[in-house]
Amino acid sequence: MISRQYRSSAPTWLVLLTGLLALIVPWPEPAFGLEKYGRPLPSMDEPEHEAREEEETLFGGYLLTGAFVKNPTFAARPDNTGLVGMRHMLHLETDLYKQYLTFYTDQNFFSDRTDGWIKLTEWDGTFAFTGVLDRFNWRLQYERDAPLDRRGLKQAYADALVTARFQAIQDSSWWRHTFPNQNLTAYAGAGWLFHNSQYFARPNNTGRALFRYVAHADLDVYKNKVVLYGDMNLFTDREASNTLNPSELDWIVGIAVRWKDTELAFYREEDRPLDQSGLVQKYYAVQLRFAFDVSKGALERMGLKR
């Protein structure tokens, strides 16, 4: 669900993507390492080390809990009932073959602020394979969103996604000399929802999504301890006359503060239709995230693995 304007002479999707890419990918040099897959949370890896490229992960991920401190319209179930109060998430991943093949799962749970804040009302489960090839990331993912406290609408899809990555501190000598203590990382790309079981193309649950366009940027303000980030997801409608034009825009802007493996973030999300008027879902949230990573090499060095 989290992963859940306007005619012009050019298609809307082309205007939006061209403008965003012009802002976040200003140099043509080769890109290297933001994340192995696209997601709206900023990477907690130290940019100068890229440990995920150097060692295989036995298991890693993060635990996350967040409160939607202001939420006028963001629904607590796939059928758009209730209003989200709390979000709890577990992300787990393991490298199957270096950085080329990784399996991960995201388990997201939401509660309804109109029904006590505590009782869970939605479960979004994601399972995926992903990997890195030079400056490109690929992902093959299945997601299922279902209510927990009652019977009701379930949304599910499977998609393939390819993104191109950029990291300024490695890819731009101008950036290294001008901003030696900051970094800009970004990715952008497109995906195809080749299987879709009621995964909608707009926040008001109309249409069925076909393509997605994504872009993400992290700006390291201070030594990877203060990070500004933004994320954009656009969906198209397979039932529309033009299946390439976006029907929905989901965007996030936030700021994250880190201490070791812990992160406190404040962010805003807004999901809105683009090709017609309708429901706009939006909220402000604060969240706490704890990251962990155990490499296969670390276990071997500790003598715990033969």
Domains of the chain listed by start with CATH number? 12-301 (2.40.160.40)
pLDDT of amino acid 33: 27
- Reported as a single tens digit per residue, the pLDDT across 216-237 is 999 999 888 999 999 999 999 9
Reported pTM: 0.82
What are the backbone angles phi and psi of residue 173, rounded to the nearest 5°? -65, -35
Contacts of 28 (CB under 8 A, 6+ apart): none
Count of beta carbons in the 10 Å neighbourhood of residue 58: 16
Element holding 167 (H helix, E strand)? strand 155-167
* pLDDT score of 299 more than 90: no
Query: What SS3 class is residue 29?
Result: coil
- Reported as a single tens digit per residue, the pLDDT across 171-214 is 888 888 888 888 899 999 999 999 999 999 999 999 999 999 99
pLDDT of amino acid 27: 33
